[in-house]
Structure 1
């Protein structure tokens, strides 16, 4: 399945809405988008997972890398609206303690 990445700017926050699946094939697209945003702006980021169907370890690695880069700018990434299967993955890996995850 392909990945579509929607972006929405809202004051001092950029909302990223991945649509589809983030896996070994599509994670480079997500990485490129997140890196570009982090390099070009100094805002907090929200990843809205409402339409994110699946994410694998490659995708999680992309999120961790983006979090490290954005923390250097003293900003943060908040993850919202994730499906139960993805929330479970965040809980199992302990990433729910690294990222701000909101229902």
Structure 2
């Protein structure tokens, strides 16, 4: 069972930063999708996703990130993913998503 997901949204310069805490999986992905899409539509700025406290993400969560990226690109903006833990970074590399997202 999922440990749950929390997030904190804040403005950073001309971007919005969303810090993720916990796990993104089948149980929490819909909530994340709604949050990301809302941020993108309401702000139309670059989006920084801070994953320092993200412990787990599954394929559903990766799909949500990709959907949010497509939405962001409609506004000519980008998603920057920061502070990935090694196990999660490995997923991005294996799936090729490290070539699609800006990862810092």
TM-score interval, normalised by the smaller of the two chains: over 0.9
- Unaligned 5+ segments in structure 2 are none
Distance (whole Å) between structure 2 residues aligned to residue 17 and residue 9 of structure 1: 11
Distance (whole Å) between structure 2 residues aligned to residue 87 and residue 35 of structure 1: 23
Aligned CA RMSD, in angstroms, stands at 0.5
Distance (whole Å) between structure 2 residues aligned to residue 94 and residue 12 of structure 1: 28
Residue 50 of structure 1 aligns to a residue in which SS? strand
The yes-or-no answer on 1:28 pairing with 2:30 is: yes
Q: Deviations over 1:42-99 (max 9, x none)?
A: 2100000000000000000000000000001000000010000000000000000000
How many pairs were matched up?
A: 102
TM-score, normalization by structure 1:
0.97
Query: After superposition, where does 1:31-50 map in structure 2 within 5 Å?
Result: 31-50=33-52
Q: Which runs of 4+ in 1 moved over 2 A?
A: none
TM-score, normalization by structure 2:
0.96
Equivalent of residue 10 in structure 2, options 8, 11, 28: 8
